[in-house]
Amino acid sequence: MAAEDSIILDSAEATQLYGKAWADTCRAGDVIALYGVLGSGKTQLVKGLAEGLGFDGDVTSPTFTIIHEYIGGRLPLYHLDLYRLESVEDALRAGMDDYIPSDGVTVIEWPDRVLPLLPANTRHFTIEVASLNERLIRPGVSASA
Ligand SMILES: Nc1ncnc2c1ncn2[C@@H]1O[C@H](COP(=O)(O)OP(=O)(O)OP(=O)(O)O)[C@@H](O)[C@H]1O
Ligand SMILES: [Mg+2]
């Protein structure tokens, strides 16, 4: 059952546009936390945000890279994919605290790994897979985080 504040995103492009719309509101030091299962569309949101900030390179999530830096837009964008980290200690060892917050915008996939490190003004969004091409997004922390 979808929460009342969920929005339907009916294609990967719609999800990218949703992320792109965040760009105008972003300021240095902002942190955005994205919850959702594998393949739910978190990276599609980051792709849109990067485009909205004016970054014109590729946005991907290579499996073994934790930090992706997208430089050249209005603000630097740091994309953290923490799937492979198991604990806050892991994250600190990998130097994550330099990015939470950062001198630009930090977007975090799998933020449940670092909940105690997130600043109070972090914006949280949860994506759910509704069907092959439909996602539901709502502000807030995932119930399972
Ligand atoms: N409405 C939609 N929104 C976003 N992605 C969609 C949608 N419909 C289909 N897709 C597809 O779902 C996949 C989402 O992949 P994406 O890499 O963004 O997921 P992710 O949440 O970042 O996963 P991971 O945790 O593995 O990094 C893409 O292949 C995309 O084309
Ligand atoms: Mg991803």
The tens place of each residue's pLDDT in the chain, 145 residues long, gives: 556 799 999 999 999 999 999 999 999 999 999 999 999 999 999 999 999 999 999 998 767 789 999 999 999 999 999 999 999 999 999 899 999 999 999 999 999 999 999 999 999 999 999 999 999 999 999 877 7
The answer to the question of residue 59 being in a domain is yes
The answer to the question of residue 21 being in a domain is yes
Interval between CA 64 and ligand 2 midpoint (Å): 12
The answer to the question of residue 127 being in a domain is yes
Q: How many CB atoms lie within 10 A of CB 96?
A: 22
Based on the number of CB atoms within 10 Å of its own CB, is 88 exposed (0-12), middle (13-18) or buried (19 or more)?
middle
Interval between CA 39 and ligand 2 midpoint (Å): 7
SS3 state at 138: strand
Q: Residues enclosing ligand 1, CB less than 6 A?
A: 9-12, 14-15, 36, 38-44, 61, 81, 83, 109, 133-135
Beta strands of 22-145 (E only): which ranges?
31-35, 67-70, 77-81, 105-109, 123-131, 134-139
The answer to the question of residue 145 being in a domain is no
Q: Distances in Å between the alpha carbon of 70 and those of 26, 54, 63, 64, 135?
A: 15, 10, 17, 17, 25
**Quick check: 115 and 145 in contact, CB under 8 A?**
yes
The answer to the question of residue 31 being in a domain is yes
How many residues in the chain? 145
The answer to the question of residue 144 being in a domain is no
The residue segments making up the domain with residue 45 are: 7-139
Task: Give me the pLDDT at residue 61, please.
Answer: 77
Q: Which residues contact 89 (CB under 8 A, 6 or more apart)?
A: none
The answer to the question of residue 29 being in a domain is yes
Q: How many domains does the chain have?
A: 1
Residue of 43, 46, 51 with the most ligand 1 atoms within 8 Å of its CB, for mutation: 43
The answer to the question of residue 62 being in a domain is yes
DSSP code per residue over 50-61: HHHHT--S----
Task: Give me the pLDDT at residue 2, please.
Answer: 56
Ligand in closest contact with the CA of 112: 1
**CATH number for position 90:** 3.40.50.300
